[in-house]
Structure 1
Amino acid sequence: MLAPTAGGGLGARVGKQAGPRKPPLRRRTWVWWPLAALSVLPPAALGFVVLLGIATVVGPGMDDDPGEPVPCTEAMAFADLPGLPEGARDAECEAYIWLDTSYYARFLIGRDAFDAWLASVYPGVGLGPDACFGESDGRCAGFGLDPVAEGGAARIGLDVRDRPGNTLWVIFGAHSRP
């Protein structure tokens, strides 16, 4: 339908107005981006924590990853000990430094020398099957240090295995995590 124009004639359409055109309303899509980010970030953070946990459990260990060889005096100093026990031989020492620190010393020693050393450095510690894991002869100990050693050790682990000729194979572990 045509409506009268300013000049008196017909010609303008009804519903259309003359004058400047108004821009169309803009949709405010930017408001949704922060909400989208908030819905994505918590699952991503949770995924990172889960991956970190898996890496901690599956991380380097004694069985699958050889540690870094270190002098045995360094390994024993981590537990505030002056060195290997007197009479120890064929010693190998390693450090595992990842999320926490662990030092291991493996050595052969005579039974009497080991018993004397253990009684002098950790009096009252007995060996038994409770602290053993993996392949063991059932003579192990695991205990915390209170206070923590100045070298950094908070926990000590011992695994003692019998060898021929009144000899013991000792695995001494010092760990920074209790």
Structure 2
Amino acid sequence: MKLLLLLAALTAAPAALLAQTALPAAAPVWTDHRRLLPDKLRQVPVGLTLWHTPNPVYPQPNPGQPGGFVWQHSTMLRSEVGQELTVVECGSFIWYSEAGWQPNLQQTPAEFATLFQCPEGRLRPGRTYTFAQNYRYADSARGLYGGDALWYILARDPAGKLYKGFGLIETEAIPR
């Protein structure tokens, strides 16, 4: 019996150590604080224009949820390259503290195609694609906080060259 207890104690110790081992932290998205852009957007040529309206955007009472708030804005995108591009990624980073850019949203090309009404995620030159209801919500006044969101799109041309577009939206905490 003593032998069984000793074996149980010895096998439990490594399991307890494993349970206490912290998982590695997610890789930082913004490592060079002397530069404005997050790492994945640096050194990629600009080929897309992306903007938001209204900007800045202020929270308003949400008629669909009593006590809730909504920031209502639209996001537009246009290819400036002169040839068709295919979206490979769409997302945003958010800045709401001194830590700087943090990952926020990331959407697949299929999600982008739906949100921006862009069939198959193919961007035709000079055409504007719109995410008409790019809204942010808060359940209550406690959820109101300001911050800046940097939306980005990455897209490739037929030769495989990658282009970016990005646009900053200022989301304010205090309703007007």
TM-score (normalizing by structure 1): 0.25
Q: Whose Rg is larger? A: 1
More contact order relative to length (CA 8 Å, sep ≥ 6): 2
